[in-house]
Amino acid sequence: MLSNEEILSARLMVVDDEPNNVVLLEEGLKREGFTRIKSLTDPREVLELYKDFRPHLILLDINMPHLDGFQVMEQLNVVEQGGYIPVLVLTASSDRQVRLKALKFGARDFLTKPIDLLETICRVRNLVETRMLNEDLEEKVRQRTAELNETRLEVIRKLGRAAEYRDNQTGMHVLRMSHFSAALAREVGFSSEECELLLNASPMHDIGKIGIPDGILLKPGSLDDEQWTKMRTHTEIGGLILDGKGNMLMKLAQSIALHHHEKWDGSGYPDKLKGEEIPIEVRIVTICDVFDALTSARPYKKAWPVEEALDFLQRYKGKNFDPDLVDKFVEILPEILRIRDTFVD
């Protein structure tokens, strides 16, 4: 239940080509205590005012010049994409067909003219209350969904962080490479949703390192053949960890974990994918991951200067890396360096 005050705070619109009717309705509503009322006598102006004013209820006449009430409802239905349109129809016609048509067009209720003010006010109050309670509920659902999403992302970030923790305790590498990846994706024309997805999926690329023994993962010197073979399995382990009938984010994360060491010329692992067989999201991540790994200090190596890391990308473009993506990466270098300055180890 809502309080009287809450109901009277509703935004109301009155649309009738007959000015006398508008005055009558406005006065009745004001006497009841409603204060936020906007009225129109030209139905062609409804759409614009509706978008701007977002009324809780429209009292809408049916028989009007230029656009009749049905056509107005049609316009509102387009805006709301078939969702709720808050319309109380006023019609001089007691014709059953007209009433049925109004309901079919999405009207919540109708009143027959001449207007009975007392009845009108009661109906307005009821409809406004239903509308407001619905909005309340929608808002709560929106909030819960946002919270759920945030929690989900947080768990994903922590998972990526857990994977990094043993060999990179600051966790900044995954932050940098995921932001580089989103920036490069934007540069090659990904939508903002796709960039966001890549931003959230790429931190899990090395999750499979969880399955690599300390003696190999943390070894300061270079690895022997057997150790390398073991080290390479982090891609397949990652693929298995992220396996399942997950959503788009998990599917992308899995694809990245599994293939981020594939090379453009087909000499990578685990599946020796070649060129565009490697999904573009993965090719993006590979470049960003390598660039950040080179320019960061690790237990077994110093950080390379940016210039040298760029030389490396140039030297291996067409071999390890998608050549077009390397060029794009170089083009957005100022942004890459900004990201690098934001997430310092």
Q: Which secondary structure element, helix H or strand E, spans residue 59, and what is its range? A: strand 57-61
Q: Give the nearer residue to Fe ion in terms of CB position, either 128 or 290.
A: 290
Tell me the residue number closest to Fe ion, measured at CB: 206
Report residue 7 as tokens: 């109901």
Could you tell me how many residues of this chain bind Fe ion (CB under 5 A)? Answer: 1
Beta bridge partners of 75: none
What strands, in cross-sheet order, belong to the sheet with 36-40? Answer: 36-40, 11-15, 57-61, 87-91, 109-112
Residue whose entry in the numeric block shows the structure tokens 């942004």:
335
Q: Give the nearer residue to Fe ion in terms of CB position, either 61 or 206.
A: 206
- The CA-atom distances, in angstroms, between 16 and each of 26, 27, 29, 71 are 11, 14, 15, 14
State the amino acid at position 312 in one-letter form.
F
Q: What sign has the CA pseudo-torsion 7, 13, 16, 19?
A: positive
209 is catalytic: yes
User: How many other β-carbons are positioned within 10 Å of the β-carbon of residue 259?
Assistant: 25
User: How many other β-carbons are positioned within 10 Å of the β-carbon of residue 105?
Assistant: 18
Point out which span in 9-17, 28-36, 189-197, 205-213 binds Fe ion (CB under 5 A): 205-213
When asked if residue 164 is in the footprint of Fe ion (CB under 5 A), the reply is no
Q: Are the CB atoms for 176 and 163 separated by under 8 Å?
A: no
Q: Minimal distance in Å, beta carbon 286 to Fe ion? A: 9
Q: Give the nearer residue to Fe ion in terms of CB position, either 206 or 322.
A: 206
Report residue 127 as tokens: 């409809």
For Fe ion, the binding residue among 16, 206, 281, 322 (CB under 5 A) is: 206
Q: Minimal distance in Å, beta carbon 159 to Fe ion? A: 15
3-state secondary structure of 38: strand
Residue 323 CA to residue 330 CA, distance in Å, equals 11
Rg of the chain over CA atoms, in angstroms? 31
Residue 1 CA to residue 129 CA, distance in Å, equals 8
3-state secondary structure of 232: helix
Q: Describe the crossing of helices 172-187 and 192-201 by its angle, rounded to 10 degrees.
A: 160
Catalytic residue among 209, 263, 317, 328: 209
Q: Give the nearer residue to Fe ion in terms of CB position, either 209 or 317.
A: 209
Q: Which ranges of 85-116 would DSSP assign to H, the alpha helix?
A: 96-104
Active site residues: 209
Q: Which residues bind Fe ion (CB under 5 A)?
A: 206
